[in-house]
Amino acid sequence: MRLSRAKVNHLSRLVVDAMAADDRVQISSEANDIRLEIVRLITEEIERDAMVDDLVRTKITSQKRDFPEGGREWEILYRQYYQEEMEKHRPPRE
* Interval 68-79: pLDDT, tens: 998 999 999 999
d(CA 75, CA 15): 32
> Backbone dihedral region of 72: left (phi > 0), alpha (psi from -120 to 50 degrees) or beta?
alpha
Torsion of CA 52, 58, 63, 68, to 10 degrees: 100
* Interval 6-52: pLDDT, tens: 999 999 999 999 999 999 999 888 999 999 999 999 999 999 999 99
The pLDDT value given to residue 78: 97
**pLDDT above 70 for 80:** yes
**pLDDT above 90 for 3:** no
**pLDDT above 70 for 57:** yes
